[in-house]
């Protein structure tokens, strides 16, 4: 897996840091996959990066155009049901930080070409 | 490992998403540990969360009081040397997003008590 290239700031990053319980791996995996597929169809979704370590700690960062896109995503019924199940069964603990990205950069430089409004030839 | 509890917004999150090369695991591990120890002594450092997956993708999010704290950390000589080595040897690709955290929350609720300036008894 490669890092998602940066977008043109400003945009919103939702940083979800979580610790899994040992319960219901199959149910968790199915729901996590379904939520990714659903998020990708939401207006204002830009992308995400997600990693889980061997010790059960996970970080998922999703990128969104603006606060309205996040509010709409929070209101989706299937997403609300998944969050409730997560709180009951799948997560021992989690912290969410909602943050406005002010600058972003990448290596190799080619990734920077995805920043809208910048022409690599002129950089 | 448990998620770092949230801080009192606003604060800065530096989201570093990276893909490791297969090179020099020992050197990388030593330097990564040294950089964590050094960052923890920097003025304005609040905390960090870090995960690496089995496929080599890693996400480290560090939390800082403000932009001045990040600028000072970027200027530390040993940190600059580590970043240069990272670009040369350890990272196949990376993306960095610098973002201002506007809101944050956690489960279990006890974690919210770490938000400065809020008294749980009054919540």
Does the pLDDT at position B110 exceed 70?
no
- Would B45 be classed as within a structural domain? yes
Contacts of A49 in chain B (CB under 8 A): 17, 57, 59, 95
- Would B122 be classed as within a structural domain? no
- Would B123 be classed as within a structural domain? no
Which tens digit of pLDDT belongs to each residue from A47-69? 999 999 999 999 999 999 999 99
Give me the CATH number covering residue A21: 3.30.70.100
Residue of chain A whose Cα is closest to the Cα of B2: A19
Contact B27, B65 (CB under 8 A): no
The half-sphere exposure of A29 on its side-chain side, counting CA atoms within 13 A, is 5
- Would A121 be classed as within a structural domain? no
- Would A71 be classed as within a structural domain? yes
Give the ipTM of the model, two decimals please: 0.87
Residue among B3, B58, B107 whose CB faces A51 most closely? B58
| Amino acid A120: pLDDT | 40
- Would A28 be classed as within a structural domain? yes
Least confident stretch, A109-118, B41-50, B71-80, B98-107: A109-118
Which tens digit of pLDDT belongs to each residue from B46-84? 999 999 999 999 999 999 999 999 999 999 999 999 999
Average pLDDT over residues B82-109: 94
Q: Are A105 and B111 a contacting pair at CB < 8 A?
A: no
Chain A residues interacting with chain B (CB cutoff of 8 angstroms): 1-6, 13, 15, 17-19, 49, 51-59, 61, 63, 87, 91-108, 111
CA–CA distance, B49 with A104 (Å, rounded to integer): 19
- Would A3 be classed as within a structural domain? no
Contacts of A77 (CB under 8 A, 6+ apart): none
- Would A118 be classed as within a structural domain? no
Q: What is the DSSP letter of A3?
A: P
Contacts of B113 (CB under 8 A, 6+ apart): B120
Average pLDDT over residues A97-104: 98
Number of domains in chain A: 1
Average pLDDT over residues A9-34: 94
Residue reference for tokens 């080619």:
A110
The predicted model scores a pTM of 0.88
What torsion, rounded to 10 degrees, do the Cα atoms A99, A105, A107, A109 define? 150
- Domain membership of residue B59 as a residue range: 11-115
Phi, psi of B26 (to 5 degrees): -65, -50
Beta bridge partners of A45: A64
């Amino acid at each position: 897996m490669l890092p998602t290239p940066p977008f043109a700031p400003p945009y919103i990053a939702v940083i979800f840091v979580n610790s899994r319980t040992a319960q219901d791996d199959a149910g968790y995996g199915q729901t996590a996959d379904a939520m990714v597929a659903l998020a990708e169809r939401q207006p204002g979704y830009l992308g995400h990066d997600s990693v889980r370590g061997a010790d059960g700690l996970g970080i998922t960062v999703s990128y969104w155009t603006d606060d309205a896109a996040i509010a709409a995503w929070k209101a989706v019924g299937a997403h609300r049901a998944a969050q409730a199940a997560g709180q009951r069964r799948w997560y021992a603990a989690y912290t969410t930080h909602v943050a406005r990205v002010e600058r972003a950069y990448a290596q190799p430089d080619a990734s920077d070409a995805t920043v809208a409004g910048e022409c690599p030839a002129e950089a």
